[in-house]
Structure 1
Amino acid sequence: MDLSVRHIVKRFNDRTVLEDISFDVGPRELVSIVGPSGVGKTTLLAIIARLESPDAGEVRFSSPPTQKHPVIIVFQDYVLFPSMTVRDNIGFGLRARHLDKRRITERVDRMLDYFQLTEKGRHYPSQLSAGQKQRVAIARAMIVNPAVLLLDEPFANLDRNLKMETARFIRKTQQAFGIPTISVTHDLEEAFAMSDRIGVLLEGRLKQFDTPRRVYFNSAFSDVAQFLGPVNTIPERFFPLMRVNGYTSGQVLSGPILARPENLAMTPDEDGPGSIVEKTFAGHYTAYTVDFEDTTYTVYSQDDRFRPGQRVALALKAY
């Protein structure tokens, strides 16, 4: 199963929420659509799930979803049945299909084991953590063998220290079940960690759709680059000073170009054009603010030995 989203347009009253949205999802692919709150990400999921109708465009499936293999959406609030145990929540879709009790028990047992919920089988949703509730919701979706899985803000209710762990678990689960998956989120780090491709949705338009690395390091537009994190602009007049031309496979670039803080290399140089004005420890890197000619740059470095006031040279690293 794969799917294609083609030229989707959605309006509410006089406001266009989605404008000409197109992208593809491969049969074993996990795609994340990222963007700020209120940009239309959940509306896009609802259209793919056929809970909303577009004003124009269509969603095409290589094999039409069926009642046996539906498109399943996992909402950010999980929508678990509060009066049902974990076991009954997970098995709900199978009971609705009138499978015999033995098969339901066997499949639910496998899901409880895979999702590390065996000890919680007789618990109710109110007795679970947010992370456990999410696993129950995904297990309930996966047990019916969906044609496509849709995740609405899967990290919204999780503590920060659980988000990356959950991203890895979602990726592992999606690969294990081989189900094409679309996630919408504004949690960028987790989206980068788990996705095959990422789409950036800004002001109702899909501004870029590519691999996480290319979207991050080769942003197609300045607003995409700025949404994804700090970015420096290097004008052509700085190319000789930063040794820009030929930095990737000998290709010659014309500017200005955008560079992430981690792609600027800094070296001590008593006669260098840069001067460090600020130094901030940020955990796994040190952030430096550097005055370079008439421009201020942000540089991330693993080298903590530089000091404010020190003269430096900057160069663009290959990526």
Structure 2
Amino acid sequence: MDLQLRGISKQYNGKPVLQDVSFDVAKGEFVALVGPSGAGKTTLLKVIAGLEDPDGGEIHCSFASSKERPIILVFQDFLLFPTMTVFENIAFGLRARKFPKTVIRERVEHMLHYFQLENRANAYPAQLSGGQQQRVAIARGMVVNPAVMLLDEPFANLDRSLRLETAGFIRRTQQEFGITTIAVTHDLDEALAVSDSMGVLMKGRLEQMGTPKEVYFFPKNQQVARFLGPMNTIPADMFHLLDMDVAPGTRELLVRPEALDLAADPDGPGTIREVRFSGHYQACVVAVGGRELVIYQKPNGLRTGHRVRIRVNADLGTRE
């Protein structure tokens, strides 16, 4: 493991901000930490970066942070130097570490080429778009060949149309350079799309850590489930209507709308009450067993009033 966090705790003015946070990060892994505002995400990054001391717990690294292999934190607001050009901003960390001029130029030019900023090398931050500023900030972090890169809300200052595109670019960059990366974000779509592992931080506690699919479809508790998106609560008296095979004594299950499949069936237990178009899917409100379930489906000809059978998708179902 590149990083091991064990029991990290932090307080400000007697108020707990981080409480017993523990997880591992493998070399070259991309970990996304999600959670609501005030959950302690940025504080945790600062502790990992060494900018804050924890009140309890330890961080173990498989490497020694050094001039050649530092831990780099890229802040949400980029913090580019307004009076420096793009070239000078990217070169800043190398110059501060007293690298030779030839090495600085070679590395910066490589970053400019990789991030498609060659024609902006002499521009100033105010002359750049938000996406370009972000690329400069990440290039400035990567040019020093970091052992670990920490990203604080990397998508927060971007238009929605740019977020997934930028998330994909960051992911490809991280994989190509093999940099161990931890990003904190409240943008769930982007976190799900780019991460190898995802953790949910709420009120200073790490509620769950796992692959994006595990955390999303198999949430540890209702708090995690509701934060990550809509859920259907299916009580025990409905299990037979959905042909669900569950352990005896299970009282209810939480199932994502996209983890349920519909099929037309004149003898089915469900009736479609409403169909809402939502872009790449349609949301069907289905009455079944005296309750209503919301089910996401690709447009398939089902309409309001149709009788349907409902099944849990075996690949996307939920654990008890």
Does 2:271 correspond to 1:280? no
1:294 paired with 2:282, answer no
Q: 1:253 to 1:182 in 2, by over 3 A?
A: farther
Does the 8 A contact of 2:241 with 2:289 survive in 1? no
| Kept after mapping to 1: 8 A contact 2:38/2:203 | no
Match of 1:35 in 2: 35
1:23 alignment counterpart: 23
| Matching of residue 309 in structure 1 with residue 305 in structure 2 | yes
DSSP-derived class of the 1:105 partner: helix
Structure 2 equivalent of residue 209 of structure 1: 209
Question: Is the Cα–Cα contact under 8 Å of residues 207 and 224 in structure 1 kept in the other structure?
Answer: yes
Identity of aligned residues (%): 54
Residue range with higher mean Cα deviation, 253-262 or 273-282: 253-262
Paired residues of 2:17 and 2:204 also in contact (CA < 8 A): yes
Q: TM-score, normalised by structure 2?
A: 0.95
1:192 corresponding residue in structure 2 = 192
Residue 267 of structure 1: how far off its partner (Å): 1.8
| C-alpha contact 1:274 1:314 (8 A) present in aligned 2 | yes
Runs of 4+ in structure 1 deviating by more than 4 angstroms, as ranges, are none
What do residues 271-300 of structure 1 show as CA deviations (whole Å, max 9, x unaligned)? 332222221101110001112122211100
Which residue in the other structure is 1:147 paired with? 147
State the AA in 1 paired with 2:237.
R
Cα distance in 2 for residues equivalent to 1:95 and 1:317: 55
Q: Which amino acid aligns with 2:89?
A: N
For 2:213 and 2:19, locate their aligned partners in 1 and report how far apart those are by CA, in whole Å. 25
The question of 1:100 aligning with 2:100 is answered: yes
Match of 1:266 among 240, 245, 262: 262
Alignment coverage as a number of residue pairs: 315
What is the letter of the counterpart of residue 291 of structure 2? T
Task: Give unmatched runs, 5+ long, in structure 1.
Answer: none
Match of 1:132? 132
Post-superposition offset of 1:252: 8.3
Cα distance change on mapping 1:98 and 1:203 into 2, 3 Å: closer
CA RMSD of aligned residues (A): 1.5
Deviates more, 1:255-264 or 1:114-123: 255-264
Q: Work out the CA distance in 2 between the residues paired with 1:97 and 1:213.
A: 41
Q: Per-residue displacement from partner, 1:28-60 (whole Å, max 9, x unpaired)?
A: 100000001111100000110111111111111
CA contact (8 A) 1:286 1:304 kept: no
**Structure 2 CA distance for aligned equivalents of residues 187 and 63 of structure 1:** 30
Rounded Cα–Cα distance in structure 2 between residues aligned with 1:165 and 1:267: 34
Question: Which residue does 1:168 correspond to in 2?
Answer: 168
Distance 1:281 1:120, change over 3 A: same
Q: Residue type of the partner of 2:274?
A: E
Tell me, yes or no, if structure 1 residue 236 matches structure 2 residue 232: no
Query: CA separation of 1:8/1:106 partners in 2, compared to 1, >3 Å: closer, same or farther?
Result: same
State the AA in 2 paired with 1:82.
Answer: P
Counterpart amino acid of residue 17 in structure 2? V
Post-superposition offset of 1:253:
9.2
**Structure 2: how far apart are the matches of 1:160 and 1:253?**
44
Conservation of the 8 A alpha-carbon contact between 1:25 and 1:31? yes
Return the offset for 1:159.
0.6
Alignment of 1:59-98 (within 5 A): 59-98=59-98
After TM superposition, the score normalised by the length of structure 1 is 0.95
